[in-house]
Structure 1
Amino acid sequence: MKWFALRPRDPADPRWPLPETPQITLKAEDADDARRRFEEAYPSEPFGTPAHPTGEVGPGSFRGDAQALVVEETDTPPAPEA
């Protein structure tokens, strides 16, 4: 498996689940698998909203909007500091 960096195409996209983190890095088979793993880990607003009360289908999802995420192969990230 390879390492992939994912970030929103628009840094101000309100759907990005980690506003203090400009990108995340994860292992995947290919770019499509990286996107799938990201969508699985961050499906949407977890409990929905008053307008969308059903969880995992709120407006925070990148699902179905492949152009909104930039997925690039990257080097192994540094180990987290203890």
Structure 2
Amino acid sequence: MKTLRAYLSTLSTIDQAAYAKQCGTTIGYLRKALSTKPRLDGALVRRLDEESGGQVSRQDLRPDIFGEPSKKKAA
């Protein structure tokens, strides 16, 4: 949920609603998900990732389906 929270914080309220709509959900549902941390549907997670250009990590949201997030090495 870290990547979803971080991504939403970069968007205006109007853009948040538009992003949620493009993903087939509502900003209200996404806000509730951030506070209650339910297991999001895999198809929704995929759309959240794709519509954010990869900024919302599907691996972060559902590692049980998409695998663990890769660890980035410091250069």
Structures share fold, TM-score greater than 0.5? no
Q: Tell me which protein shows more strand as a share of its residues.
A: 1
Q: Which has the higher contact order (CA 8 A, sep 6+)?
A: 1
Look at both structures and tell me which one has the larger radius of gyration over its CA atoms. Answer: 1
